[in-house]
C-alpha cells in the first residue's frame, strides 16, 4: 500500500491519532511523551502510532502534513499540530474544547 | 550536527524580515532551543501556518541538524 494511503487510513479509522516516537506507555522522545501525557490527562482514547517502527511512515507523515517534526496529532482527520501547539492549546483550555466539540470526550 | 543561535536567527530573518526573535539554548548544547518569534507576517494566520512559516525559513534543517526547537509565535 502507498504510504499516503496508509496514513489516510490511520487518521480515518482512529478518531484521535498521534504519530509519535515510541508508544504511549514507552515514549522515546520528550516531545512525544508530552503530547501523549496531555491526551492521557484529558482521558482521551487515542491510537499512538510509533513512527520508529517504520522509516517510510516516519518520513511519510512529515510529507503528508507538510510538517517537519514528530509528534503530530490528528483529531477526526484534522491536523491539530505538533508538541508546541498542542501544549499551548492544552494550557489555554482550547484542546479540551475542540475534543468536546468533536465528541471525543 | 548542531546549529548556533545566530545562525538560526539569520535563517528566520531571511524569510521573516520583521521578526523579533528571542532564542534560548535550553541545555547549553547548541541542540535544544526554544524560540519566541513575533512578526506581522503571522497576523491572521492559524498557529499551524505560523509555525510552518518558521519551519520553512529553516530550510529543511528542522528535524535534521536542528533536533529540538520549541516554537512560540506571536502576532505583532
- Set out the domains of chain B in order of their start, with CATH numbers: 5-75 (3.30.300.90)
Put simply, whether B10 touches A (Cβ < 8 Å) is no
B1: pLDDT strictly greater than 70: no
Residue A90 confidence (pLDDT): 98
| Interface test with chain B among A55, A69, A89, by most B beta carbons within 10 Å | A69
Is there a contact between A87 and A48 (Cβ–Cβ < 8 Å)?
no
The pTM assigned to this predicted structure is 0.95
Nearest to A84 among B52, B63, B72 (CB): B72
Give the torsion sign (CA, B63, B12, B38, A67): negative
State residue B14's pLDDT score: 97
> Chain A closest CA to B42's CA: distance in Å?
15
* Interface test with chain A among B63, B66, B72, by most A beta carbons within 10 Å: B63
Residues of A in contact with B72 (CB under 8 A): 84, 88
Residue B1 near chain A (CB below 8 Å) = no
* A83-91 and A30-41 helices, crossing angle to 10°: 30
ipTM of the complex: 0.90
**Is A79:A72 a contact under the CB 8 Å cutoff?**
yes
Handedness of CA B68, B47, A80, A99 (dihedral sign): positive
Q: What b/e string do you get for B14-33 counting C-beta neighbours within 10 Å, with b at 16 or more?
A: eebeebebebeeeeeeebbb
pLDDT tens for B10-48 read 999 999 999 999 999 998 888 889 999 999 999 999 999
CB contact at 8 A, B51 and B73: yes
Cell reading at B27: 541545555
Among A62, A68, A85, select the one facing B48 at the smallest CB separation.
A85
Report the topology of domain A3-101. Answer: Glutaredoxin (3.40.30)
Q: Which residues of chain A have pLDDT under 70?
A: none
Alpha carbon of B62: minimum distance to chain A alpha carbons (Å): 6
- Comparing alpha-carbon positions, the chain A residue that sits nearest to B71 is A84
Contact B63 A85 (CB under 8 A): no
Amino acid at each position: 500500500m502507498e504510504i499516503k494511503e496508509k496514513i489516510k487510513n490511520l487518521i480515518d479509522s482512529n478518531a484521535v491519532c498521534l504519530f509519535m516516537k515510541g508508544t504511549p506507555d514507552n515514549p522515546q522522545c520528550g516531545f512525544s511523551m508530552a503530547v501523549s501525557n496531555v491526551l492521557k490527562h484529558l482521558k482521551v482514547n487515542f491510537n499512538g502510532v510509533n513512527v520508529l517502527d517504520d522509516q517510510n511512515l516516519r518520513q511519510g507523515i512529515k510529507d503528508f502534513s507538510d510538517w517537519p517534526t514528530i509528534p503530530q496529532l490528528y483529531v477526526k482527520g484534522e491536523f491539530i499540530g505538533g508538541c508546541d501547539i498542542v501544549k499551548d492549546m492544552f494550557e489555554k483550555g482550547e484542546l479540551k474544547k475542540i475534543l468536546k466539540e468533536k465528541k471525543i470526550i | 550536527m548542531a546549529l548556533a543561535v545566530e545562525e538560526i536567527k539569520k535563517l528566520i530573518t531571511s524569510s521573516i524580515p520583521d521578526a523579533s526573535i528571542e532564542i534560548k539554548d535550553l541545555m547549553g548544547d547548541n541542540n535544544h532551543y526554544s524560540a519566541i518569534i513575533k512578526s506581522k507576517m503571522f497576523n491572521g494566520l492559524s498557529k499551524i501556518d505560523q509555525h510552518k512559516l518558521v519551519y520553512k525559513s529553516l530550510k529543511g534543517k528542522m528535524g535534521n541538524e536542528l533536533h529540538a526547537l520549541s516554537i512560540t509565535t506571536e502576532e505583532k
